[in-house]
A and B are shown apart, each in its own frame.
Chain A
Amino acid sequence: MKSANSQQRSPFLTGYAVLVFGFIYLPIVVLIVYSFNRDGVGGFPPRHFTLGWYRLLFNDAAIWDSVINSLLVAAASVALSLTLGLLAALALDRATFPGKALFRRLVLLPLILPGIITGLSLLMFAVFAGMQLSLLTVFLGHGTALISVATTELFAGLQKLDRAQEEASLDLGATPWQTFWRVTLPNLKLSLIAAGLLIFTLSMDEIAVTFFLIGRDNTLPLEIWGRLRRGITPEINAISTLIFAVSVALIVIWYRLRARTIGTQAQEFLERP
């Protein structure tokens, strides 16, 4: 039953909501606008539109090296987190074993703990294991922390799975392994892609954990961080704007995918009399 919410709109609430939205978007808008400002960051109002900062950016080799490093780490993290996260989600969904509750909490802990704790503990582990700090240690940090994200997403996806489909597959003669590849995994496709996008974005942005595990090669956030310590340049506005644009694009894709997985359920819900 469609029901138009006929409550009178409180103008205060609407105004307040607009203010909150403004607060959330203000820094981002400032960032983007000033990345095109010839006189750099600061002062008001911005004059003299220029693409000069972007040109400077594109010639900055160090930045692009760090971008590649970030991409490598992110890709590897996606692979690791999705694999282990899928297994963890399956285990939580289907298996019972001693210490399952503890396991669940442990897996989800990095999600809620401040990054410094995860980063430091892994640093101590790296030293203990005699590892050199490098992109590898960064990858270990990202991968481990982001398993929690993968597990959460995939577990939710598994819950929506129709168990009867797997039973039907077994009934028709497929082995559990075949069932997994032919039935379970295809049904999780959207969840996997959505989780992958999320992990990728989070890995590209990651700074707190990375801070303690970085070696000689910088990731993009740490490269920017290093420059920030030395002073503000509008070049950073430019790269930040680019990061923002890419993040938005990825998240829009993520959201579209997510909406598709719940799409059919939402449709059924809306059509009930």
Chain B
Amino acid sequence: MKFLHLVWRNLTRKKLRTILTIGSIFVAFLLYGILGAVKLALVGGVEFADANRLVTRHRVSIIQPLPVSYQARIARIPGVNLVTHQSWFGGIYQDPKNFFPNMAVEPETFWEMNPEFTMPADQKEAWQRTRTGAIVGVTTANRFGWKIGDRIPLNAPIWPSKSGGAWEFDIVGIFEGTKKVADTSAMYFRFDAFDEGRVYGTGQTGWFQIRVDDPQRAAAIVAAIDEEFANSPAETKTEPEGAFMQGFASQVGDIGTIVTAILGAVFFTILLVAGNTMAQSVRERVEEIGVLKAMGFTNGLVLAVVLGESMLIACVGGAIGLGLALLATSGGSPVPAMFPVFYIPTPHAIVGVVLIVALGVIAGVLPAVQAMRLRVAEALRRGG
């Protein structure tokens, strides 16, 4: 412990260099943190998909509607626990730039099917009572400052209303996520009101959500559902929810992969440069280390002093960078319109800590070992 002072004096000898190196490491780990959040935002849903949930859509494409009557037929298939359905509404609030997902659903089955969302019981009841009622996720409610009791007009280019004007919904509840990964940017309203109010398409819905008893049997149930509607005018395609989301993620596709690859490359480039500077600063002091050894410092002690120095730099820079990234993403997404789910997953943060330690060790150990092996006389001569 008494040698801590020595480490400290070494660091403060060239203050500027130390600060600049810490600065580089800070930037690297800030980027690393952001990388984790971006990755999650682009493909996160896939990993956290509910293994007990299947999605059934029209075989040709998801924009083709399916008859609502399929619901009862799917429910009869053995192994199916619960069936509900959702319809994409595509409503626009004031301006297309204010995009958020909005869908018509069945309030009766919604909560049991989607346990990742939660809302106070009185608001759930209000939704059951109010035909024009809509519930909105906390992300979007905050984004537009909506409160319970507000009446929200949505224009729906896909679905003209019988009244001819905008659709109006009364906010009766604001739901939150029970899990961090839950996307609370959507608005849901009642299918019965939607079905009655639209000019065409009555009796048709977008896709079915299905809950099964046993995910092990999912493959058999998928086959049974698609078999049920084979050779009908509207054939279906059923997938586990994870595969369904994977499909979407891979459609956004290459761009996400490339952005994450680039961020990764950036991270390692900065680390390489910073590590090189740290190693350099030890190499410059060979003669001093010779003096230390001449004074009776053991090899182990020299190693510890040099390693301590590089560890300190890595830890300070890395901790501030990673900490700032965690802090910036802890209060929900800073860019809800772009990425509704945006936080750093814990495993990613843990790997970050490991990387910080690894940086400190690797940048310190090579010059430290060199220093350790030095013969005193040679080191002293080298300084000249």
* A and B together in one complex: no
- B residues at A contact (CB < 8 Å): none
